[in-house]
Every structure is written in C-alpha cells, then in structure tokens.
Amino acid sequence: MKKLIVVLTVLITTVAFAQNKNARASMEVDGVCLMCKTRIEKASLNTKGVKSAVWNVKTHELKLIFDERKTDLKEIQASIVAVGHDTKVLKATDEAYATVHPCCRYRDEAVKDDHKDGEEDKKD
C-alpha cells in the first residue's frame, strides 16, 4: 500500500510540473496590415498567461510565449477570433469580422490586392 501511495504521489507531482510556464508556439492568423498586427497582438496579450505575441504581416505567423498553467492555444485563438481574425482552426463570426476596419477586411480579394500593391511600392 505504501508503494502505491508513493507511486501516485510521484505521478501527481510529475503531472503538476509537466506544464511549461514559458511554452512557445506559433500559428497562422489572417490579416493584412499593421492595424491587424496591433489588434491580433493585443487580443493575444490580453489573454491571461500570454507573455509575448508577435504577428508577422507578410507571413501571417503569430509567435507566442505563454504559461501553459494559465492558458492554452484554444483560448488564445478564441481571443483572436473574438476581435475578428481567422486562424487555421477557428473562424471569426461575421459579426466579429464586421468590427474590423474596412482596410483590414482580409477576406476581401480587393483589399488583399491593395495591400500587395503597397508591398510592391515599398520594394521599389
């Protein structure tokens, strides 16, 4: 019986400490501009446990550092979707998407094309 209690205690202790307080992850988040960047990063950082959030406008990659004891990727994605941006796993509702600035309407091909033109101008 003592062996069983010791084994259970070790297992519970191991599980409790298995979560990483500086977990790193990345995900794709749809957006087109610096206003999107600000909105995505702010939504991520407002999620309890997120320590760092950096979204790349060109690659659409959001790099995160977060405390797994306080949050998980699903909760972070839910925060992003709530402000109107799609992830690969979750899609923003039409109501949430409607709240983004007209310049940020990443589902609209004309808006995407306008932002691509701006990128080409910067290269010249």
What are the pLDDT tens digits along the chain (124 aa)? 666 565 555 555 555 556 789 999 999 999 999 999 999 999 999 999 999 999 999 999 999 999 999 999 999 999 999 999 999 999 999 999 999 999 999 999 888 888 876 554 444 4
Q: Which of 59, 27, 57 is nearest to 39 (CA)?
A: 57
How many domains does the chain contain in total? Answer: 1
CA–CA separation, 102 vs 60, rounded Å? 18
Residue 94 in any domain: the answer is yes
Phi, psi for residue 106 in degrees, rounded to 5: -65, -15
Residue 9 in any domain: the answer is no
- Locate tokens 């599980």: which residue? 15
> Residues for the chain: how many in total?
124
Please give the pLDDT value at position 94. Answer: 96
CA–CA separation, 62 vs 119, rounded Å? 20
Please give the pLDDT value at position 123. Answer: 44
Q: Which of 119, 124, 123, 121 is nearest to 34 (CA)?
A: 119
Residue 7 neighbours by CB distance under 10 Å: 10
Residue 5 in any domain: the answer is no
Q: What CATH number is associated with residue 107?
A: 3.30.70.100
User: Could you give the strand order of the β-sheet that contains 50-55, starting from the edge strand earlier in sequence?
Assistant: 23-28, 61-66, 50-55
Residue 73 in any domain: the answer is yes
Q: Which domain holds residue 89?
A: 19-123
